[in-house]
């Protein structure tokens, strides 16, 4: 509901006559990870050709615009502007057209560089004239320096150099002039990257299967380099894996049919809903369960099943699928919330409802939805259940969280989740501000249980204040103005 967003999706295809069409269709399948801009680059006869523009993949990568792009290798990208403005010139893929033939490459990436400011200052000291304010140019310069030192024939060494200089999250797809496709996933593997043995890479496995149903898809491991070229496919472990996977991939960002490192997204959402139901002692018996469209549906279904209560999936209708409210100012966000959701009074009037959503960030759009459920839907009681813990801290690894001062929980709570839950008095205050009868969040400790992994393999910095990289922790401490206590793992 609060519309968190992730920085981009990456796609690469090689060794196919229909590489352009396959890459474009996968980009359209991954549009939920972007929406600001989309683009596609091919390598043909030693040169790069690119089509990119602001807009959704289905609007940009049309058959008409792709006419004339014929090649056996292509990379594509869906962009959301986590770092840098929504400037068409920042759409990816990015092409580096060097005068030196061995330094030419095209790439796209997703993530965020936590030490971007340090890298920017370093470039200024070197005398580099930076043309943008975003992270992409900084990452390109790190890749270029690695190529200048090791050449494109040793991409493992190149990305080893990038790892040594970059603090943050980055999945990269790279295209060389001869059609070689490479993909690299950073050693902490914060966001998903998948591949096939016949030369396809993409952020989510389900997007590949939707376009190529027969594909055998496996994860690219954290710290692993995937290379597909004239010598076939290679998997090179560049760095020892140190997994710190973003738990929001399971709770919100990834398609529910996807797997993130062989763990089902849909199963995790269902488990979260069941745990919420088991912990809920405040909702009146026989309440109806209503999801906020669209990512909360699986959790709400599981909640209802666990309770044995009716599930009403049509109580709230998403009138603008794919439209997001997170980029707008508060008045604009409220107006978009009015237009986005249809309230069905016939199924809600006079009822006590359990409203299940995936997260709560600012609270602006939730307040508007609650107001409409009461005024237009005639709902008697509203009990809000969130399938993630309270968000207390910013993200520096690719998630579009607002500043601390914008987080609704931080208006009323300035501690850490030592027990995984907020104090009852804080919950009552937040419920009153939103206009609901009660509110409960999924405890921190429930997340690894729902996903089926150890908490130490997850990045949960936004809900614990414990950051998995030095620069991320320093930035958080600076934002807090103090050192946050560490939640035990």
pLDDT band of residue 185 (cuts 50, 70, 90) is: very high
Degrees, nearest 5: CA angle 197-201-202: 145
pLDDT digits (tens, 9 = 90+) for 15-54: 999 999 999 999 999 998 988 899 999 998 889 999 999 9
Rounded-to-integer distance, Cα 254 and Cα 81, Å: 18
- Mention the CATH class of domain 9-243: alpha beta
Cα dihedral sign for 370, 374, 379, 382? positive
Contact 213, 137 (CB under 8 A): no
Split at pLDDT 50, 70, 90, the class of 465 is confident
* Strand 259-260 to 9-14 pairing: unpaired
CA dist., res. 206 & res. 203, Å (int): 9
In the predicted model, is pLDDT for residue 414 greater than 50?
Answer: yes
Handedness of CA 220, 225, 229, 233 (dihedral sign): negative
Give Dmax over CA atoms of the chain in angstroms. Answer: 71
> Which range, 91-95, 131-135, 448-452, has the best average confidence (pLDDT)?
448-452
Name the β-bridge partners of 52: 39
Q: What proportion of the chain, given as a percentage, has pLDDT over 90?
A: 73
- Provide the CATH number for the domain formed by 267-453 in this structure: 3.40.50.2020
Q: Which band of pLDDT confidence, cut at 50, 70 and 90, is reported for residue 329?
A: very low
Running DSSP on this structure, what letter comes out for residue 404? G
Please state, in angstroms and rounded to a whole number, the distance separating the CA atoms of residues 26 and 261.
19
Least confident of 71-75, 79-83, 255-259: 79-83
Neighbours of 318 (CB within 10 A): 13
- Position 406 scores a pLDDT of 79
Q: What residues are labeled active site?
A: 8
Looking at every residue in the chain, the average pLDDT score rounds to: 89
Q: Is the pLDDT of residue 308 over 50?
A: yes
Q: Where are the domains of the chain?
A: 9-243, 267-453
Q: How far is CA 286 from the centre of its chain?
A: 35
Q: What is the DSSP string of 342-370?
A: EE-HHHHTT-EEEEEES--SS-HHHHHHH
User: How confident is the model over 322-337, as a mean pLDDT?
Assistant: 50
Per the CB < 8 A criterion, the answer to whether 216 and 38 are in contact is no
CA dist 86 and 36 (Å) reads 7
pLDDT at 68: 85
Return the pLDDT at 368: 94
Assess whether the previous peptide bond of 42 is cis (omega < 30° from 0). no
Give the pLDDT confidence score for residue 347 in this predicted structure: 93
- Is the pLDDT assigned to residue 89 strictly greater than 70? no
Per residue in 258-267, pLDDT (tens digit) is 999 999 999 9
Closest C-alpha among 170, 102, 97, 105 to residue 136: 170
pLDDT beyond 90 at 91: no
HSE-up (13 A, CA, CB side) for residue 135: 26
Tell me the mean pLDDT in the region 315-326.
65
């Amino acid at each position: 509901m609060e519309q968190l967003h992730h920085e981009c999706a990456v796609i690469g295809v090689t060794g196919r006559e229909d590489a352009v069409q396959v890459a474009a269709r996968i980009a359209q399948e991954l549009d939920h990870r972007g929406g600001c801009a989309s683009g596609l680059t091919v390598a043909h006869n030693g040169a790069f050709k690119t089509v990119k523009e602001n807009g959704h993949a289905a609007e940009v990568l049309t058959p008409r615009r792709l006419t004339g792009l014929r090649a056996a290798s292509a990379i594509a990208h869906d962009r959301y502007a986590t770092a840098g403005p929504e400037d068409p010139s920042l759409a990816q893929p990015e092409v580096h057209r060097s005068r030196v033939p061995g330094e030419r490459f095209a790439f796209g990436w997703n993530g965020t560089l936590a030490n971007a400011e340090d890298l920017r200052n370093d470039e200024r000291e070197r005398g580099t004239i930076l043309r943008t304010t975003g992270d992409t140019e900084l990452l390109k310069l790190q890749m270029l320096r690695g190529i200048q030192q090791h050449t494109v024939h040793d991409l493992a060494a190149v990305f080893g150099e990038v790892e040594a200089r970059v603090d943050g999250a980055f999945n990269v797809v790279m295209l060389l002039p001869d059609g070689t496709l490479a993909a690299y996933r950073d050693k902490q593997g914060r966001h998903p990257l998948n591949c096939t043995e016949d030369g396809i890479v993409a952020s989510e496995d389900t997007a590949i299967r939707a376009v190529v149903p027969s594909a055998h898809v496996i994860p690219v491991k954290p710290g692993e380099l995937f290379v597909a070229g004239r010598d076939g496919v290679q998997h090179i472990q560049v760095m020892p894996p140190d997994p710190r996977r973003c738990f929001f991939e399971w709770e919100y960002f990834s398609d529910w049919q996807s797997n993130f490192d062989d763990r089902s997204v849909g199963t995790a959402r269902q488990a979260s809903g069941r745990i919420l139901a088991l912990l809920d002692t405040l909702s009146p018996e026989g309440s109806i369960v209503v999801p906020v469209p669209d990512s909360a549906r699986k959790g709400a279904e599981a909640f209802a099943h666990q309770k044995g209560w009716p599930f009403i999936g049509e109580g709230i209708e998403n009138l603008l699928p794919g439209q997001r409210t997170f980029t707008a100012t508060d008045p604009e966000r409220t107006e978009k919330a009015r237009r986005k959701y249809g309230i069905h009074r016939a199924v809600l009037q006079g009822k006590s409802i359990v409203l299940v959503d995936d997260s709560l960030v600012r609270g602006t759009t939730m307040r508007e939805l609650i107001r409409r459920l009461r005024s237009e839907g005639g709902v008697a009681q509203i009990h809000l259940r969130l399938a993630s813990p309270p968000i207390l801290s910013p993200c520096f690894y690719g998630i579009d969280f607002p500043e601390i001062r914008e987080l609704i929980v931080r208006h009323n709570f300035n501690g850490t989740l030592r027990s995984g839950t907020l104090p009852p008095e804080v919950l009552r205050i937040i419920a009153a501000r939103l206009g609901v009868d009660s509110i409960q969040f999924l405890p921190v400790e429930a997340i690894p249980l729902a996903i089926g992994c150890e908490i130490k393999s997850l990045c949960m910095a936004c809900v614990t204040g414990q950051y998995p990289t030095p620069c991320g922790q320093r930035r958080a401490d600076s934002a807090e103005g103090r050192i946050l206590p560490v939640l035990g793992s």
